Amino acid sequence: MAIAPPRGDTAANGTQVILSGDSMTINMGPQHPSTHGVLRLVLDLEGETVTRCEPVIGYLHTGFEKTYEEKTYLQGVVLTDRMDYLAPLSNNLGYALAIERLLGIEAPPRATVIRVLLAELTRINNHLVWLGTQALDLGAMSAFFYCFREREVLLDLFEMMSGARLMTSFIRPGGLMADLPDGWIERAESFLREFPGHIVEYESLLTENEIFKERTIGIGILSPEQAQALDLTGPSLRACGIPWDLRKLAPYCGYETYDFAVPTLTGGDVYDRYLIRMAEMRESTKIALQAIDRLPTGPVMTADRKIAIPPRAELATSMEALIHHFKLVSEGFKPPEGEVYTCIESPKGEIGFYLVSDGTGKPYRCHVRAPSFINLQSLPPMSVGGLVADLVAIIGSIDPVLGEVDR
């Protein structure tokens, strides 16, 4: 192996990393258990120190954006589930809000409150998977079992309302697929009442755990300036000391009427990202309980028959309902010509949908601003200058879902 000359690279904290000796280039991934999917990293190592980190993505590219152009707006809902498969309801919500903006309609009040409730349950679901796998990556196996125990309750709830555990497709343009079934609210509420106690359980395993702290404190630091330059969003940005949350800054679905805090810390390291997500689960529980308290009665789908598919029972008695059903299923509703960009705060950051309509039943163009894709750009500045073993902790702390990165 040739001896590489001493080379300089700037670490996240601004210090110059100058090492000499054998430089080695290795591939981490795409098949590596800690890369949360099929992320490949090309690493330059000097000893155990990372001097260059280049993410190589695209292994899960499935052409979602091309597929959207061939589907009606309603059919496109199922594609959103499959991008960020840990937070499908957040993706459904962002897509539905974009289409509603294009159409110039709003969902009924009951649907809006249920959307908030589901978005927060999804946030908890996403953070539970994140927490379990992050702890597992660092060698703490018990947390994984605890997290997946609670996640199972959430998935049962999702299955109860939509028939699917992961790919719910429950939030539709104009409202919801259906109303919540009997007994759902009671089950959700009993889960939310006991959930803060479970968060204490996870924290007792990790927060003061010497090994966990050793592996995470001071690791993968990103300064607020760098984070903003790279447009990091979500919990990772809030761990850098920037209270940036679209639920507060650009409220949608009436988030401005809920009482919740935006947890913010200033360390910008892996440990702070962990603490932020733990605090966010508590805040999400609060929001979800408020949503249950104020749940109004009424329809869950817009009354506009040019947009909403008629109820099954009407098809047997009403000719108009049958015609509407046929037209909506075969051609879809037709928004006016125009373009919109709508974004919401998903568990991972800002997920945005840019839709261009040409007045037909299919989107002319649908682009997804995937938070995982943008956030992953922050990986090199976080990891250069650190140890290769810490890279595992850093990847996990960004919480990328490769299905969304590659789309």
Partner 1 sequence: MTAQTGPTTSPDATPPPAADPYAASEVHAAVHAAAQELVSATFGEALLEVQTFRGETTLVVARERIREILTILRQDERTRFDRISNLTAVDYLDLGREPRFAVVYHLMSRTNLARLRLRAPVPEDDPWTDSVTDLFPSVNWPEREVFDLFGIAFRGHPNPTRILLPDDWDGHPLRKDYPIGAEEIEFSFNREVVEADRAKTTGEREERYSPHRPVNNF
Select 153 or 355, whichever has its Cβ closest to partner 1. 355
- Residue by residue, DSSP assigns 201-236 as HHHHHHTT-HHHHHHHTTSS---HHHHHHTT--SHH
Contact with partner 1 (CB under 8 A) among 171, 270, 278, 343 = 343
Q: Is residue 101 within the footprint of partner 1 (CB under 8 A)?
A: yes
Q: Is residue 374 within the footprint of partner 1 (CB under 8 A)?
A: yes
DSSP letter assigned to residue 81: H
Closest approach of partner 1 to the CB of residue 180, in Å: 18
Q: Is residue 11 within the footprint of partner 1 (CB under 8 A)?
A: no
Select 48 or 70, whichever has its Cβ closest to partner 1. 70
> x-or-dash pattern for partner 1, window 237-276, by CB under 8 A?
-------x----xx---x----------------------
Select 148 or 354, whichever has its Cβ closest to partner 1. 354
Burial class (CB in 10 A: 0-12, 13-18, 19+), 399: buried
Give the type of residue at 228.
Q
- Number of alpha carbons in the 13 Å side-chain half-sphere of residue 59: 15
Q: Which stretch binds partner 1 (CB under 8 A): 174-182, 259-267, 326-334, 362-370?
A: 362-370
Q: Is residue 339 within the footprint of partner 1 (CB under 8 A)?
A: yes
Distance from the Cα of residue 163 to its chain's centroid = 21
Spatial CA neighbour of 126 closest among 92, 174, 89: 89
Distance CA 264, CA 65 (A): 34
Q: Is residue 57 within the footprint of partner 1 (CB under 8 A)?
A: yes
Select 219 or 343, whichever has its Cβ closest to partner 1. 343
Closest approach of partner 1 to the CB of residue 338, in Å: 4
Is residue 21 a contact partner of residue 55, using CB atoms and an 8 Å limit? Answer: no
> x-or-dash pattern for partner 1, window 203-232, by CB under 8 A?
-------------------------xxxx-
Burial class (CB in 10 A: 0-12, 13-18, 19+), 14: exposed
Spatial CA neighbour of 175 closest among 298, 38, 257: 298
Query: In the window 140-179, what residues touch partner 1 (CB under 8 A)?
Result: none
Q: Is residue 338 within the footprint of partner 1 (CB under 8 A)?
A: yes
Beta-carbon contacts of residue 175 (< 8 Å; ≥ 6 apart): 107, 108, 111, 299, 300, 301, 302, 308
* Contacting positions for partner 1 (CB under 8 A): 57-58, 61, 63, 65-66, 70, 101-102, 104, 106, 109, 112, 228-231, 244, 249-250, 254, 296, 338-341, 343, 350, 352, 354, 356, 358, 364-365, 367, 369, 373-374, 376-377, 406-407
